[in-house]
Structure 1
Amino acid sequence: MSHRPRSRTASLRAGCALLVGLVAAGGAACGGPSGQALSATPYDATGQISFSGVGGDRKADPDKPLEVTAKGDGSRITDVTATDAAGRYVRGELSADGTRWRSTAPLAAGAHYTLRVSTENEDGRPGRRVIGFDTAPAGKQLRVTFGPEAGTYGVGQPITARLSRQVEDPSARAVVERGLKVESRPAVQGLWHWVDGRTLHYRPREYWPGRATITVRSTLTGVRVGGELHGAATKPLTLHTGPRLEAIADAGTHHMTVLRDGVAIRTIPITTGKPGFATRNGVKVVLAKEPFVRMRGTSIGIPEGSSDSYDLPVYWATRVTWSGEYVHAAPWSVGAQGAANVSHGCTGMSTADAEWFFNTVRVGDIVKVVGSGGATMTPFDNGFGDWNMSWEQWSEGSALAGPATGGAAGRDAGGPADTARLRPGV
């Protein structure tokens, strides 16, 4: 940032302003110390200042401070600004006597800077020197990939950021988090949460507003993250949300209520997990829609030939966990739907209701299970269970709002890490 002490020229101008009303018409109001009028155009101050770390064809080291020094001829520096091509200012300090300015923050790597220096000579006349210089490219780069892909999603869809390198140091995490910008129209309160050293999720305090526009971008390009690691250019992301759609599946009443913008639009008889296979409670987010899935009991550890064994073609399957929990058509259990829980963990319904649900929801919509004897959906290791953390817990995973502990254990929830996780059950 620029630092501007009160100069002798500024003092003279202030004195002129006070005398203007007292000077007779046609008289000179004020001049410099030798009687000359103040110059409106700064003179070339090239001979009055020197630079450290820049000049010639060499590129400046982004990790070394930039220095500007006034030569010992009675001149002094009155102001310095250094900005890169993106308009970012470099913080710096000017000595009290105006003889030296020094940057106090690292420069961006691989960037072009414009340095503007204002001076005044021993007579108070203003000078100016403007130079451009480039910084050396980063030796190590941190790349960021945002997710999901651009498109329209439900209001429960978290934003993900995948880093190309592990970041563990709390101060480096703070730099990263500060440089990852998320803006929503309408505006929301939200935070990044460190899932692990290479994965961050962003969610608002509440769900996203319906019909919102969300933009995600990085300002880390060239910025020193820590050590020799600097941010690389990142492709921005724009998302939209559809109407707020929530499906509340009550395992106790055996019914699902689907709401659009808070208004119930359909109530569906369902069956959920029976004892030993109880459906997970909590908020889940629609991950994918699959018109057909072959479901086998062996995929969830049920041996062939046992009373629980199955091998079934399943239609209109809406996935809510990577381990194989779906909302799907279950024509074989229509007699129990609305009355009992007989599935192996999925939410089953009639073929007509499942087709309607499949065609109504989109990826990112909310499926909330209540009243089940199962455990609560985990936050990160089996899909998007982000909403099952309180805002206080979520904030603790931010390097800016709380202690960055690395978040809950788990792999990247942005998609399946291997095919073993894609095991459907009915």
Structure 2
Amino acid sequence: MPVRHRCAPFALLLVVLAGCQSGVDGGQAAAPATTAAPTTAAPVPAAVISTDPPLGSTGVDPVTPLRVLAGHGTLTAVTVTAEDGTPLPGALDPAAGTWTAAADLGYGTTYAVQATATDAAGRTSTASGTVGTVTPRTLTMPTVFPDADTPVVGVGQPVSITFDEDVTDRAAVERRLSVVTTPHVDGSWSWLSDRTVHYRPAAYWPAHTHVVVDADLYGVDVGDGVHGQASKHVEFDVGPKKVGAVDATEHVLRLYVDDQLVQTMPTSLGKPSSPTPSGTYVVMQQSRHYTMDSSTYGVPIDAPGGYRTDVEYASRLSNSGIFVHAAPWSVGQQGYRNVSHGCLNVSTADAGWFYENFGRGDVVEVSNAGPRLAGSDGFGDWNVGWDEWVAGSALHPGV
């Protein structure tokens, strides 16, 4: 007997319903399946080489860091040469995207730049050109004191920078001057003239201070087409506090080390016709033998009051000719009367003691004598009040 499949009609109904839902029923054709369009890879950009300053630049500041840069790639070769063929040293960063010169550029020089870079696809790009630096009208060399020959100075020693050309842009210079001390001591620059600028604290340096001076002046336009010839770095230490004090009415020079009295010396200062200026002096230099000559301050040797005398143990205190020195001829007046031409006369033994125990940067304070020592005379800086001193700065005038 044939087997009857009673579920077949129901299965057929499901097929028919499925056909209706899919759009087969009613004569509608099924929508074709969609296919994604094939993607196209983005093009690899070519490497682009640039420089900072740009190629073709002229009049460039020689301390401008010359850089060669690669965009969309890496640098594979960079050469920079001066006109005489001297290569400019430099180095790539770790990613080989930037080459930076490792030295300052020279004045008035044209540098030839050649560079090669590779992009991600391995293609090579090249660039070449020149960069030219400024040609100054003239150069000025800064001289810094204290220097390498004076590693230790006294508490009164200002920092002095002198130039061999006039500085008309004082602010440009001051921005490139730095003084760092250990321990920290506040101070200020002050211009004494167009060629001289000094730095000091409000009061004497603390004993045993370490001072670091940087005059980063190479490449700086100091005005009127004059540029800095070189930069200078100096370090020095301040020694013990050594101060001499003399009252012109007492005729005694008292010497202190770290505020302790260590020596007294009878002395004779300037006579009434040539009084010793009152004020604070700083020992500038010392000579075992020295010739005193009145013509150095305008009095001829053969004129009334003129002289030319050899002395021993001469410690200069001012440009105007004030010294502590041996004066055996006036020992009878030392401690009693002022008979010198302005110097501090002491005995040969006392002058030798001062010469051996006091030195550059140490201080001598003179009171109740003649008119005040000018701040511009030698290292007469301490004779200028602090507010006036700071007002002499190009960056802080009137503070």
Output the TM-score relative to the length of structure 2: 0.65
Q: Output one character per residue of 1:188-224: Cα deviation in whole Å (capped at 9) or x when no partner.
A: 1111112222221111221222222211113344355
SS at match of 1:281: strand
Report the counterpart of residue 163 of structure 1 in structure 2: 163
Question: 1:148 maps to what in 2?
Answer: 146
Q: Following TM superposition, by how much is the alpha carbon of 1:279 offset from its aligned partner in structure 2, in angstroms? A: 0.6
2:270–2:341 contact (8 Å) kept in structure 1: yes
Alpha-carbon distance in structure 2 between the residues aligned to 1:313 and 1:187: 44
SS across alignment from 1:257: strand
- Superposed CA offset, 1:76-121 (max 9, x none): xxxxxx9976899xxxxxxxxxxxxxxxxxxx99899xxxxxxxxx
Deviation at 1:143, TM superposition (A): 3.9
365, 377, 380: which one aligns with 1:385: 380
3-state SS of paired residue (1:202):
strand
Deviation for aligned residue 1:149: 2.4
Q: Is the 8 A contact 1:246 1:366 kept in 2?
A: yes
| Distance in 2, Cα, partners of 1:335 & 1:228 | 59
Task: Show the 5 A alignment for 1:334-345.
Answer: 334-345=331-342
Shift of 1:228: 5.5
Q: Distance in 1 between matches of 2:210 and 2:129?
A: 38
Structure 2 unmatched ranges of 5 or more: 1-42, 72-97, 112-126
- Counting matched residue pairs gives 305
245, 253, 257: which one aligns with 2:254: 257
Q: Match of 2:209, as an amino acid? A: A
Aligned partner of 1:213 in structure 2 is: 210
- Whether the 8 Å CA contact 2:278–2:366 is kept in 1: the answer is yes
Which of 372, 375, 387 aligns to 1:376? It is 372
Q: Does 1:269 align with 2:270?
A: no
How do residues 216-227 of structure 1 correspond to structure 2 at under 5 angstroms?
A: 216-223=213-220
Contact 1:317/1:358 (<8 A) preserved: yes
Across the aligned residues of Structure 1 and Structure 2, the Cα RMSD in angstroms comes to: 3.9
Identity fraction in percent: 35
Task: Please name the residue that 1:355 is paired with.
Answer: 352
| 3-state SS in 1 of match to 2:174 | helix
1:402 maps onto 2:397 in alignment: yes
Partner of 2:60: 62
Contact 1:55 1:133 in 2 (8 A): no
Which residue identity lines up with residue 401 of structure 1 in the other structure? Answer: H
Superposition map of 1:122-141 within 5 A: 136-140=132-136, 141=139
Equivalent residue number for residue 22 of structure 1: none
CA contact (8 A) 1:138 1:229 kept: no
Distance 1:228 1:133 in 2: 27
Q: Is the 8 A contact 2:293 2:301 kept in 1?
A: no
Aligned residue type for 2:167? V
Which letter maps to 1:355?
G
Asked if the contact 1:53/1:60 (under 8 Å) is kept, the reply is no
Contact between 2:301 and 2:308, CA under 8 Å: does it hold in 1? Answer: no
- Provide closer, same or farther for how the CA distance between residues 54 and 354 of structure 1 changes in structure 2, counting only shifts above 3 A: closer
Cα distance in 2, alignment partners of residues 329 and 250 from structure 1: 19
Classify 1:303/1:225 alpha carbon distance in 2 versus 1 (closer, same or farther; 3 Å): closer
Q: Distance in 1 between matches of 2:330 and 2:53?
A: 76
Deviations 1:371-407 (A, max 9, x none): 11x1111112x31111100111111110111169xxx
SS in 1 for 2:351: helix
Q: CA deviation at 1:145?
A: 2.6
1:280-332 superposed Cα distances (whole Å, 9 cap, x missing partner): 110111111112223355666276485x5655432111111223221111222
Structure 1 residue aligned with 2:35: none
2:74 is aligned to none
Note if contact 2:58-2:134 (Cα within 8 Å) is conserved in structure 1: no
1:332 alignment partner in structure 2: 329
Query: 1:157-212: per-residue Cα shift (whole Å, max 9, x none)?
Result: 221222344222xxx32121010111122221111112222221111221222222
Distance 1:111 1:209 in 2: 49
Instruction: Determine which structure has more spread, i.e. the larger CA radius of gyration.
Output: 2
Letter in 2 for 1:394: W
Contact 1:109 1:230 in 2 (8 A): no
The one-letter amino acid of 1:371's match is N
Distance 2:262 2:129 in 1: 62
Partners of 1:62 and 1:109 within 8 A in 2: no
Q: Which amino acid aligns with 1:159?
A: V
- Specify the SS of the correspondent of 2:372: coil
Seen in structure 2, the aligned counterparts of structure 1 residues 294 and 174 have a Cα distance that, compared at 3 Å, is closer
What is aligned with 1:189? 186
State how 1:234-245 maps to structure 2 within 5 Å. 234-245=231-242
The answer on whether the counterparts of 1:138 and 1:228 sit within 8 Å (CA) in structure 2 is: no
1:202 corresponds to which of 177, 199, 202: 199
Counterpart CA distance in 2 for 1:299 and 1:219 is 35
Of 143-152 and 248-257, the range deviating more from structure 2: 143-152
Q: What is the match of residue 317 of structure 1?
A: 314
Paired AA for residue 279 in structure 1: T
8 Å Cα contact 1:293-1:317 kept in structure 2: yes
Residue by residue over 1:335-381, the C-alpha shift from the partner in whole angstroms, topping out at 9 and shown as x without a partner, is 22212212121111122111111111111111111111x1111112x
